[in-house]
Amino acid sequence: MSQTLEHRVEEARPSAEDTARLRNYYLVRGLVAAGWVAAAFTIGKDTPAIGGALLVAYPAWDAVANLADANSNGGLARNRTQLLNMAVSFATALAVAASLGNMHAVLGVFGAWAFFAGLLQLATGVRRWKSYGAQWVMVLSGAQSALAGGFFLQRAFGSATPGIVDVAPYAGFGAFYFLVSALWLSVRRGSRT
């Protein structure tokens, strides 16, 4: 019995390689989001075609990133929240592409996506907390994403015409949270060695 318990504890603790992989994943996610924000505030806001491409690319990238993360952590079958997040993000990219002629609709799609993706990210963070620790940032990010989704939905029904700069701060907070998570995992890893 103690050998089985010991084996379970060993399984629950990620290896240094797993922790480094998750840290690198968070780092890449943060840097890509920061680059997206920079592009949104510069060329995206002044060039509608580029702005539209960026709006489609953001949830598409999220789908690809969730797939990559799930695959490096046991596959989609073991990571159902990421499977759902990937599917929702891919559907969002398609819905944004179909709605580009109406920015109110685009913001509404982003709002629904931010809400559901935030809840799924929160659930993933809670699930990983036991193994990796340092997930409070992802839990906070997921909760804030869900709240931002509600804000986007409210703005989507407003009279002011939204644009890519309305979405960019959301991506900016995402970049911040991913970068802080990468840093936090690096600090925790360094303190264990």
Reported as a single tens digit per residue, the pLDDT across 88-104 is 999 999 999 999 999 99
Of residues 126 and 97, more confidence is placed in 97
Give dist(CA 104, CA 155) in Å, integer: 8
Least trusted range by pLDDT, from 143-152, 163-172, 184-193 = 184-193
Of residues 49 and 121, more confidence is placed in 49
Q: Which residue has the tokens 């699930």?
A: 127
Give which of 175, 180, 181, 178 is closest to 40, Cα–Cα.
Answer: 175
The predicted structure's pLDDT at residue 82: 86
Give dist(CA 182, CA 169) in Å, integer: 20
pTM: 0.84
Residue ranges of domains in the chain:
17-192
Of residues 86 and 188, more confidence is placed in 86
Q: Helix axis angle, 164-192 relative to 136-156, nearest 10°?
A: 180
Assess contact for 149 and 111: CB atoms under 8 A: yes
Neighbours of 106 (CB within 10 A): 27
Give dist(CA 35, CA 130) in Å, integer: 31
Q: Is the pLDDT of residue 190 over 60?
A: no
Give dist(CA 138, CA 135) in Å, integer: 5
Least trusted range by pLDDT, from 11-15, 138-142, 148-152 = 11-15
Amino acid, res. 90: F
pLDDT, average across residues 158-186 = 91
Assess contact for 113 and 104: CB atoms under 8 A: no
